[in-house]
Structure 1
């Protein structure tokens, strides 16, 4: 009977340690920043990631309206945007500053958004 109690206690202890270890790993998998707002409509209906640790570099696992995919986190960089420039094509080259290289910001153009040097 004593052996059974020791076995049960060892199993309970192992289960608690495993649950704690899983919690620590999950907390470490969460990257800083917040997911960008969803665009109008729906994204691809597929699960490309299940948590932030599935994503490269600083990208986060975010909902796209139908599934999940890795996206650059929403970032607001310091500085302002210059007056909108005339662009030959209407396009959304960016949705937030985090998608722009270096110090560039995602700024309004006459017909969409594009990365620009801050003013």
Structure 2
């Protein structure tokens, strides 16, 4: 039914709070987000997979929107802006103060930054 409305879905199964999406899932999520960005806003260095939708609208969520979704959005923001993990989290917290990242999520952001962010 969602597909009939033009909604696409990507699930990155991850245990809440005590785990973080693995690096492969995080990059897969960033690639998925990138598919929906207008052509002029697409991330460089991210492979183009699947049909490019270019709608500019992406909704990222998990159960509470505090941990798993924040980790993925943080990875996207780091790639988009060349930010550090701290800068990405500060940006998100200014808009969504209830995000809560634990050691596993911070480590995932740090590793993602090391491997994918070119400043």
TM-score by length of 1: 0.23
Q: Choose between structure 1 and 2: higher helix proportion.
A: 2
TM-score by length of 2: 0.23
Q: Choose between structure 1 and 2: higher strand proportion.
A: 1
Q: Which has the higher contact order (CA 8 A, sep 6+)?
A: 2
Larger radius of gyration: 1
